[in-house]
């Protein structure tokens, strides 16, 4: 029987952790990083362009998650302790966000290091969070529940972003020495918000859903066996395998756009932070409608058709970004329009892709291991995307060419979805 209280607690983790993805990885931190860092940063005896180094540091954090996640997920499934791993990563990520309070122009390496740890904590926790979805909701409930989570995330993250903007704008009125100090305090608030509201999720999610009783020793070996069995099942399931191929390619585009859009606006188009934040808020609020719209399309016409429509719009976004010119008098308003388009499909493709994967899973007790495979596909995609984006910036000095290159990955993801028979479109 469906437990609505458990489902609400699960969805509320999006409210808690989405402040990281908006404030730290998308909006304020990248702008702050670009503002206080010199154009060239020396690291390990090599000089890097600062925005490229930031891109590489994100890629490194995803490498760590991609390596750790499968093995830890196998252990979590074997022990029945997904919630324990969710807590561990959430505490680690939120603590790193709070540590960014000490990041200034004299502590650039500290800022890079803590941003990596925060990224690992966020994305690591998402694996175990997602793994609860098929355990707490019937297949016909999963699209709407997934969309509810993203909706809560957009609202909560936007609320904290607005609070941080008010603090930064009226810094001296709130007792801060300057805007930089108020911005760093916002990073502290982000960590407190994340772990504070996560307590609701921790209290409501069940422990050891399948009542697994592991032996006291051999966790690592048993976890490895759990993972190996999941990999075998995944590659023997043609629908799941094709879907993961598609998910990998379109995730390269989606996540790279989300992570690096603010740097594109500031460095390539010369937009100031106020305009960038306005665009990000547009994306968030339109995203609420988008998540629910595409969940409705999935419910009425099938998950795959919903994803296809999203992918086509994403590819269009990349082309439109390439056409933007910094000397265009209308560039600000065109950037807002593209931001609204991104908002429409961002929540839609994320919520529907998560619920689609959940529905394609076979009957299993190893949901964390299956979702670690999903997560690794996404992380490797992000590694590829951020590396290609950063490399093209170094090679050409033109972010517009990097943005256009992302459309190729959406096309490949779309072509993979064409391989799925229509009988798999509706669940």
* DSSP codes, 374-410: HHHHHHHHHHHHHHHHHHHHHHHS-HHHHHHHHHHHH
pLDDT, tens digit (0-9, with 9 covering 90-100), for 334-356: 888 888 888 888 878 888 888 88
Q: How many CB atoms lie within 10 A of CB 117?
A: 18
Q: Is the pLDDT of residue 114 over 90?
A: yes
Tell me the mean pLDDT in the region 386-403: 73
Q: Which of 43-52, 304-313, 349-358 has the lowest mean pLDDT?
A: 43-52
Q: CA 52 to CA 391: how far, in whole Å?
A: 7
> What local confidence, expressed as pLDDT, does residue 220 receive?
59
The domains of the chain, with CATH numbers, are 4-206+218-424 (1.20.1250.20)
> What local confidence, expressed as pLDDT, does residue 426 receive?
46
Q: Which of 165-179, 310-324, 391-405 has the lowest mean pLDDT?
A: 391-405
CB 20 within 8 A of CB 190: yes
Q: What is the DSSP letter of 423?
A: G
Percent of the chain clearing pLDDT 70 (strictly above): 85
Question: Looking at per-residue confidence, does 215 or 39 come out higher?
Answer: 39
Question: Looking at per-residue confidence, does 230 or 332 come out higher?
Answer: 332
> What local confidence, expressed as pLDDT, does residue 150 receive?
86
Note the residue count of the chain: 427
pLDDT, tens digit (0-9, with 9 covering 90-100), for 199-243: 999 999 887 655 555 555 555 566 566 667 777 777 778 888 888
Tell me the mean pLDDT in the region 287-303: 87
Q: Is the pLDDT of residue 175 over 60?
A: yes
> What local confidence, expressed as pLDDT, does residue 213 receive?
56
Residue carrying structure tokens 């409210």: 15
Q: Which of 249, 245, 264 is nearest to 311 (CA)?
A: 249
**Per-range mean pLDDT, top range of 83-92, 142-151, 294-303:** 83-92
> What local confidence, expressed as pLDDT, does residue 275 receive?
78
Whole-angstrom distance between the N-terminal and C-terminal Cα of the chain?
A: 19
CB 251 within 8 A of CB 382: yes
Question: Looking at per-residue confidence, does 202 or 127 come out higher?
Answer: 202
Handedness of CA 164, 165, 171, 174 (dihedral sign): negative
Percent of the chain clearing pLDDT 90 (strictly above): 24
Q: How confident is the model at residue 422 (pLDDT cuts 50, 70, 90)?
A: low
Q: CA 296 to CA 290: how far, in whole Å?
A: 10
Q: Which of 17, 77, 395 is nearest to 233 (CA)?
A: 77
Tell me the mean pLDDT in the region 260-268: 66
Q: Which of 189, 186, 150 is nearest to 171 (CA)?
A: 186
Map residue 1 onto helix, strand or coil: coil
CB 298 within 8 A of CB 393: no
Tell me the mean pLDDT in the region 271-291: 81
Q: Is the pLDDT of residue 94 over 90?
A: yes
Q: Is the pLDDT of residue 267 over 80?
A: no
Provide the mean pLDDT of the chain: 82
Dihedral angle over CA of 371, 373, 379, 382, nearest 10:
-100
> What local confidence, expressed as pLDDT, does residue 1 receive?
46
Q: How confident is the model at residue 425 (pLDDT cuts 50, 70, 90)?
A: very low
Q: Is the pLDDT of residue 64 over 90?
A: no
Q: How many CB atoms lie within 10 A of CB 208?
A: 14
């Amino acid at each position: 029987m469906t437990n609505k209280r458990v489902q609400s607690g699960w969805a509320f983790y999006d409210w808690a952790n989405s402040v990281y993805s908006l404030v730290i990885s998308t909006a304020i931190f990248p702008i702050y990083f670009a503002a206080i860092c010199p154009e060239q940063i020396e690291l390990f005896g090599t000089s890097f362009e600062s925005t490229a180094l930031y891109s590489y540091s994100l890629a490194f954090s995803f490498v760590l998650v991609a390596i750790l996640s499968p093995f830890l997920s196998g252990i979590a499934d074997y022990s029945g302790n997904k919630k324990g791993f969710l807590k561990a990563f959430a505490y680690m990520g939120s603590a790193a966000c709070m540590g960014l309070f000490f990041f200034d122009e004299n502590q650039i390496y500290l800022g890079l290091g803590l941003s990596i740890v925060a990224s690992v904590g966020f994305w690591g926790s998402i694996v175990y969070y997602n793994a609860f979805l098929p355990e707490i909701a019937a297949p016909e409930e999963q699209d709407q529940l997934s969309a509810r989570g993203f909706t809560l995330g957009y609202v909560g993250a936007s609320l904290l972003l607005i609070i941080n903007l008010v603090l930064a704008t009226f810094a001296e009125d709130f007792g801060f020495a300057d805007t930089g100090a108020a911005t760093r305090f916002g990073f502290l608030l982000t960590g407190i918000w994340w772990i504070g509201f996560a307590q609701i999720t921790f209290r409501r999610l069940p422990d050891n859903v399948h009542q697994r009783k592991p032996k006291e020793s051999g966790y690592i070996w048993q976890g490895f066996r759990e993972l190996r069995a999941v990999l075998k099942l995944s590659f023997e399931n043609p629908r799941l395998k094709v879907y993961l191929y598609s998910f990998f390619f379109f995730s390269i585009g989606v996540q790279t756009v989300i992570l690096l859009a603010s740097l594109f606006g500031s460095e390539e188009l010369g937009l100031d932070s106020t305009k960038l934040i306005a665009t990000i808020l547009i994306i968030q609020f339109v995203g609420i409608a988008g998540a629910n719209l595409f969940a409705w399309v999935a419910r009425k016409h099938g998950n795959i058709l919903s994803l296809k429509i999203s992918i086509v719009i994403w590819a269009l976004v990349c082309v439109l970004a390439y056409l933007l010119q910094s000397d265009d008098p209308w560039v600000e308003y065109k950037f807002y329009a593209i931001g609204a388009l991104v908002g429409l499909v961002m929540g839609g493709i994320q919520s529907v892709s998560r619920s689609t994967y959940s529905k394609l899973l076979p009957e299993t007790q190893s949901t964390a291991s299956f979702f670690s495979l999903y997560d690794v596909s996404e992380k490797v995609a992000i590694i590829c995307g951020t590396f290609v984006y950063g490399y093209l910036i170094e090679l050409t000095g033109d972010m517009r060419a990097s943005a256009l290159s992302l459309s190729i990955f959406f096309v490949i993801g779309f072509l993979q979805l064409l391989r799925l028979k229509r009988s798999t479109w509706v669940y």
